[in-house]
Chain A
Amino acid sequence: MTFWLNSVSVGIVLGTPLAYAALGELIAERAGVMNLGVEGMMLIGAVVGFIVTVRTQNAFLGMAGAVVAGAALASVHAVMTVGLRVNQIVMGLTLTILGAGLSAYLGAGYAGRRPGGEINAIPIPVLSQLPVIGSVLFNHDVFVYAVPFIAIGIWLLIYRTRFGLWLRAAGEQPGAADASGVPVFLIRYLAVIVGGGFAGLAGAYFSVVYTRSWAEGMTGGRGWIAIALVIFGTWNPIVVLVGALIFGFVDGLNFQLQSVGVPVSSHLLAMMPYVFTLVVLIITWTRLRRRRVGMPEALGLPYEREAR
């Protein structure tokens, strides 16, 4: 019983950064821009967040720095793909490689150091005293608590506001949206940059909050899992959040199984999230193809006003 409770608790913590990164990607994709640079933006966020935390001894400043860094790298993606209409796939991959290189370069002197500031768990009064679920659900840091509200907020933004309608229009029918006065380019720029900020935050969650250390390539491909999560979540923020928590749980099981001494190689256990993602991806995709739900119609296509 404690084994499963611990797994759920760890799963929530590990699912949180996945959720941030995936929600960021969702915003960009809803506007019609695929950002395959999430992994690079997470790494840049992780290293900048860590460096700022070490320098200022304030972990919240570190997280803010990470958001800015992720958004800065994403703005390159925005200028290139929205402004210059460069192939989104190539640009995203290049930014992932650039982010990996830059973060390794910047973080060279920081491996093995401890950040000064920290972000503590805040037990919620009363609720955290509940038997069984209290410590599992209500004894986390502020970023964990915020994530369901952010997911609901994004849902409301997309489906219940004028801006959300514009966002969807830019991702579904940019030509029609542009003709009816929606600022398609502005929305695409904003969506990509905000999405990058989310990725930066997700990366810093690993370095500043979770492991409290920096190591080269420390996000270990979770940026790609975040991209896959948007697909299983059928571009719906609530489903994406649930998906992220399930993946966090699978990821966390690995550590839990190791700590109870399951006689399976830790490397094989560490494969679980990737294999699980692949299997679920294949199943969801087969289903998606039949109904074509969710995927923005103009995803991956640059919008050319002249070619309308």
Chain B
Amino acid sequence: MRIAVPVAAVVAGLVAGGVILALGGHDPIDAYNSMWEGSLGSSDGIEATLIKACPLVLTGLAVATALRIGLWNIGGEGQLIIGATAATGVGLYATSLPGPLVLPAMIFAGCLAGAMWATIAAIPRALIGLNEIIVTLFLNYIAILLMDHLIFGPWADPKAFGFAYSRSLPDAAVLPVIPGSYVHVGIVIAVLVAVTCWWLMERTPWGFSVRVAGGNARTAEYLGLHISRRMVIVLALSGAIAGLAGAIELTGVTNRLQDGISVNYGYSGVLIAFLARGRLLGVVVAAFLFATLVVGSYALQTTGVAQPIATIIEALIIVFLLAGDAALAFRVHMTRPPHALEPATAGVRS
């Protein structure tokens, strides 16, 4: 059932998306055909899907990691943007760095900035129990405005004529590609990060203590675990992963800071983590699925279908997943269903 419900939810989401397409006067079969052609059905499409999967794997991991301690990091979007912004700052201004150090410095700056941005939400959560969802969300809007300030102001490209992007980054700041393709190495980094997170959370004593703290705060207190400290560390780690996504997107794809460097990656990360049921390696699979949908929907645009259809299908998949789980819980009602994603501290209060 762990796999059957997500698979059924994906199918139901695609069918419902087809109904919406049909209502909009498009042939759903044609539409899905061109989505397939544009994504997994052609070698260009596969490369585009791999490129798109990279930020989605990372933002999904950011959410899934925070969920281990029962926190909802809805701020992946802002942490990604702040990460890209910090990396741009290093790329534009640390000109005295030797060439081979530029990329590592930018990526480090991205992770650090993402971690700090998440910590702004982690500290009030740990100290006074202020709901991290609202704080991480507000920080998204503040991050976007900060980036806008820089790309319209001090960092604006003088040749941009009012379009929103920064000056281009130096050549040393371009992420290398996987030999024989156009795919930058970000996807490899993302999968390595996924495996590392899985190892950290599932195979180390510290990871176990985090899961205990997220699963049952009272047990953790009896064991003498510092829950608040772990909350701050885990949320900072989560922010660092999202910040990494920003630095990679910047160095691998856009090569300058620009509006729309994140196409709702942070928010999609929440859905991805949920579809993966919070499993760190499952996030990789779910992110690939969402990447396919998004890349496919770009192909749809050429046939006149509005691109947001991908977002709609993503959200519908989650609605069906939730409904499916709930329906199962109703059927076998002898015991309370185990909810991997609902540790005691994930509620509104606590």
Contacts and interface: CB of A to CB of B under 8 A. Distances in A.
B342 interface: yes
Given A85-B326, A267-B145, A104 B308 contact: yes
Contact of A265 (B130, B149, B308): B149
Interface residues of B, number: 56
B326 A90 contact: no
A224 B137 contact: yes
A86 B322 contact: yes
A220 interface: yes
Contacts of A80: 319, 322-323, 326
B171 to A, nearest CB: 29
A126 interface: no
Contact of B134 (A90, A224, A265, A267): A224
B306 A104 contact: yes
B274 interface: yes
B128 A278 contact: no
Contacts of A85: 326, 329
Interface string A90-119: 110111011011101100100000000000
A86 B318 contact: no
Given A87-B341, A289-B129, A104 B322 contact: no
B141 A98 contact: no
Contact of A94 (B72, B315, B348): B315
Given A84-B322, A89-B72, A221 B137 contact: yes
Nearest to B152: A267
Given A80-B326, A84-B326, A86-B326, A94 B142 contact: no
A215 interface: no
Contacts of B267: 93, 97
B142 A267 contact: no
B312 A98 contact: yes
B306 A271 contact: no
A227 B134 contact: yes
A101 B311 contact: yes
Contacts of B325: 86
Interface string B290-318: 00000000000000001011111011101
Interface stretch (A133-141, A152-160, A279-287): A279-287
B348 A88 contact: yes
Interface string A261-297: 0000101101100110110011001100100000100
Given A97-B311, A227-B134, A300-B347, A90 B146 contact: no
B133 A36 contact: yes
Interface in B140-174: 140-142, 145-146, 148-149, 152-153
Interface of B: 20, 24, 72, 74, 124, 128-130, 133-135, 137-142, 145-146, 148-149, 152-153, 264, 267-268, 270-271, 274, 306, 308-312, 314-316, 318-319, 322-323, 325-327, 329-330, 333, 336, 339, 341-342, 346-349
Identify the 8 closest CB pairs spanning chains A and B, nearest first.
A300-B348, A101-B311, A98-B315, A84-B326, A267-B149, A104-B308, A108-B306, A101-B312
Interface of A: 34, 36, 76, 80, 84-91, 93-95, 97-98, 100-102, 104-105, 108, 220-221, 224, 227-228, 231, 265, 267-268, 270-271, 274-275, 277-278, 281-282, 285-286, 289, 295, 299-301, 306-307
19 contacts: A76-B319, A84-B322, A87-B346, A89-B346, A94-B315, A101-B311, A104-B308, A105-B309, A224-B134, A227-B134, A267-B145, A268-B149, A271-B141, A274-B145, A282-B124, A282-B130, A285-B130, A295-B349, A300-B348
